[in-house]
Amino acid sequence: MTELTRLTAAELSAALATGEVSATEVTRAHLDRIAAVDDRVHAFLHVAAQSALAQAARIDARRTAGEPLGPLAGVPIAVKDVFTTVGMPTTCGSRILEGWHPPYDATITTRLKQAGAIILGKTNMDEFAMGSSTENSAFGPSHNPWDLARVPGGSSGGSAAAVAAYEAPLAIGTDTGGSIRQPAAVCGLVGTKPTYGGSSRYGVVAFASSLDTPGPFGRTVLDAALLHEAMSGHDPCDSTSIDAPVPPVVAAARQADVSGMRIGVVTELSGAGYQPGVLSRFAEAVELLESLGAKVTEVSCPHFSYALPAYYLIAPSECSSNLARFDAMRYGLRVGDDGVRDAEEVMALTREQGFGAEVKRRIILGTYALSSGYYDAYYGKAQQVRTLIIRDFDAAFGQVDVLVSPATPTTAFPIGERADDPMAMYLADLATIPSDLAGNAAISVPCGLAPEDGLPVGLQVMAPALADDRLYRVAAAAEAAFTDRWGQPLLAEAKGLRA
Amino acid sequence: MSITRDEVAHLARLARIALSDAELDHLAPQLDQIITAVAQVQEVAADGIPPTSHATGLTNVFRDDEPVGCLTAAEALDQAPAVEQQRFKVPRILGDAS
């Protein structure tokens, strides 16, 4: 039954609908795969075998009873450990939440359950989603299925590794500065950051509330679209949720047509700092889109060069406020409560032992940027730069339908290489941050292997807010043409788990 | 230098993180490097540009004033580090009364 794990979500959905396979068989095949490879990949922090099989049995019973079921019914999924899940721990990759069992489900967890998706477990991540490699997880890094000595990207690296290692056909993550697109790119997957507010943040442990955006991972564009549609839509429990219909992403993925589309190549998202093999694969992707009938022009977004510094002021500022809730009083770790120390001492000891180095760096950086005397020069200025970046996007989308760039400046880097060099780590998000600051939509889709290291490269497509469907039109057209050229999906080249 | 070791120690106290001396030695130069890098935003000509705190342009969002379900006391206390008489039990918050 191992071949079941090679099927896409769309293929599994079709086989489940005809009764060719049962949800129980599909779930068991993926649990077996996890048991076989996850000691090497470490994609999961928690595997929920029993509840997954129980959920699968319920789906099978409903199908036998002739109930109408949605496209994801019986399809397994991996969930980043930042989404609250009743009956499973939710740690955010942090010691401060080790062993915590949330009292309620995230809205997206609820939607996945209602759609009949089978939750296999919780995936590894950089602590509180701060990082680009999963090395900031308190529970050890995940490994890239292309080369186990390399990072799978981050912060949603466990979700990406799980899908790339065929442990799950689908996964969800969150993107604050690139935490879905960057791991998708370096693992050879499709990953989408939906329009901010298009997917609910209720029950997603907050990192930077004005940026955090849940989104899908899949091995194909259609799979990502199916999950995107199932997880999205207005949520009254999230005050920043947009009350608008979900863009027609599945139809767009099936349309896969770019003829007549105006595509802008962003001048500022290439050149210095980008690996040569990334740039050459990106240039090929642009030529390919042109050959498929798109009209390609170069577009300048002059303030994108300041997106990274603006982000590393805004995100830490928001995190320093959001993570104040981890105070050792109502849930989570409590250290040093000896009956003598007061609450503030216990709080400070708990946060010292419960948070890792990157989380502490960002809390302190945010505390600095928000302090009186520095606020205008740092946080205030970063917010003005954010406005200028939004204006750059507005001007660009006046000329073109979508923008494109490489998704990441480099391919997957070796574990350990940037672990204690924060600025080098931050550069991994160079190309993905502008879309987060502007709150619009973006996707990464595989566009080949860098010649110098044989590792996957992602093509990033960016679209205006609520035009998420355009991402899927472009990505699906590129995917179809590339797959024809390669003769097989890119992931068939992944060698890390062969041996 | 944009930030000193003493300033980092002060910020850590404000953020309620009991950093060790060794961590301070390690973090202070890293934060100095990061702050120097992010200070690039100050190069941007932005006079008169309004700040963006949030990209969607949404203003206040209200819901109808109707009661909805919430956690029971038992559910809310279930994950507490310490509980007494159906309440969160916390370390003392005031100094000695003497």
| Residue B51 domain flag | no
| Residue B60 domain flag | no
- Distance from the B85 Cα atom to the nearest Cα atom in chain A, whole angstroms: 14
Between B96 and A274, whose confidence is greater? A274
CB contact under 8 Å between B39 and A382, yes or no, is no
pLDDT of residue B97: 53
Cβ(A270)–Cβ(A407) below 8 Å: no
Q: What is the DSSP string of A11-40?
A: HHHHHHHTTSS-HHHHHHHHHHHHHHHHHH
pLDDT of residue B94: 85
How many Å is the Cα radius of gyration of chain B?
Answer: 23
**Long-range Cβ contact pairs of B25-30 (< 8 A, separation 24 or more):** B26/A357, B27/A357, B27/A360, B27/A361, B27/A364, B28/B3, B28/B4, B30/A361, B30/A422
pLDDT of residue A498: 85
| Residue B59 domain flag | no
| Residue A334 domain flag | no
* Number of neighbours of residue B72 by Cβ within 10 angstroms: 10
Q: What total number of domains does chain B contain?
A: 1
User: Is the backbone peptide bond immediately before A155 cis, with ω within 30 degrees of 0?
Assistant: yes
**Long-range Cβ contact pairs of A259-262 (< 8 A, separation 24 or more):** A259/A292, A259/A293, A259/A294, A260/A293, A260/A294, A260/A295, A261/A293, A261/A294, A261/A295, A261/A401, A261/A402, A261/A470, A261/A473, A261/A474, A262/A294, A262/A295, A262/A297, A262/A399, A262/A400, A262/A401, A262/A402
Nearest chain A residue to B73 by CA distance is A103
Q: Would you call A193 an interface residue with chain B, using a CB distance cutoff of 8 Å?
A: no
Domain range for A214 is 2-304+387-493
| Residue A343 domain flag | no
**Residues on chain B touching A382 (C-beta within 8 angstroms):** 38, 41
pLDDT of residue A2: 47
Cβ(B90)–Cβ(A342) below 8 Å: no
| Residue B97 domain flag | no
pTM: 0.97
**Residues on chain A touching B88 (C-beta within 8 angstroms):** 329-330
Q: Would you call A196 an interface residue with chain B, using a CB distance cutoff of 8 Å?
A: yes
Residue B98: burial class (beta carbons within 10 Å; 0-12, 13-18, 19+): exposed
CB contact under 8 Å between A309 and B52, yes or no, is no
Q: Would you call B68 an interface residue with chain A, using a CB distance cutoff of 8 Å?
A: no
Question: Which residues make Cβ contacts (< 8 Å) with residue A51, sequence separation at least 6?
Answer: A87, A88, A119
| Residue A253 domain flag | yes
The H-or-E segment that residue A197 falls in is: none
CATH code of residue A112: 3.90.1300.10
- Closest CB to A196: pick one of B53, B56, B90: B56
| A44-47 vs A118-123, strand pairing mode | antiparallel
| Residue A364 domain flag | no
Backbone dihedral angles phi then psi of residue A159, each to the nearest 5 degrees? -60, -45
| Residue A102 domain flag | yes
| Residue A17 domain flag | yes
> First CA to last CA across chain A, in angstroms?
20
Which of A 430-489 lie inside 8 A of B, CB atoms? Answer: 437-440, 465
For residue A493, the SS3 value is helix
pLDDT of residue A499: 61
- Closest CB to B15: pick one of A197, A341, A364: A364
Which of B 42-61 lie inside 8 A of A, CB atoms? Answer: 42-44, 46, 49-56, 58, 61
| Residue B61 domain flag | no
Domain range for B36 is 5-42
Average pLDDT, chain B: 93
Using 50, 70 and 90 to split pLDDT, how confident is the model at B96? low
pLDDT of residue B59: 84
- Closest CB to B31: pick one of A327, A352, A365: A365
| Residue A109 domain flag | yes
* Number of neighbours of residue A262 by Cβ within 10 angstroms: 15
pLDDT in single tens digits along all 499 residues of chain A = 449 999 999 999 999 999 999 999 999 999 999 999 999 999 999 999 999 999 999 999 999 999 999 999 999 999 999 999 999 999 999 999 999 999 999 999 999 999 999 999 999 999 999 999 999 999 999 999 999 999 999 999 999 999 999 999 999 999 999 999 999 999 999 999 999 999 999 999 999 999 999 999 999 999 999 999 999 999 999 999 999 999 999 999 999 999 999 999 999 999 989 999 999 999 999 999 999 999 999 999 999 999 999 999 999 999 999 999 999 999 999 999 999 999 999 999 999 999 999 999 999 999 999 999 999 999 999 999 999 999 999 999 999 999 999 999 999 999 999 988 999 999 999 999 999 999 999 999 999 999 999 999 999 999 999 999 999 999 999 999 999 999 999 999 999 998 6
**Residues on chain A touching B55 (C-beta within 8 angstroms):** 196, 210, 386, 390, 437-440, 465
**Residues on chain A touching B41 (C-beta within 8 angstroms):** 306, 309-310, 313, 378, 381-382, 385
Q: What's the ipTM?
A: 0.95
pLDDT of residue B2: 84
- Distance from the A306 Cα atom to the nearest Cα atom in chain B, whole angstroms: 6
- Which among A359, A352, A350 is positioned nearest to A331, based on CA atoms? A350
| Residue A60 domain flag | yes
Cβ(B51)–Cβ(A380) below 8 Å: yes
Q: What total number of domains does chain A contain?
A: 1
| Residue B25 domain flag | yes
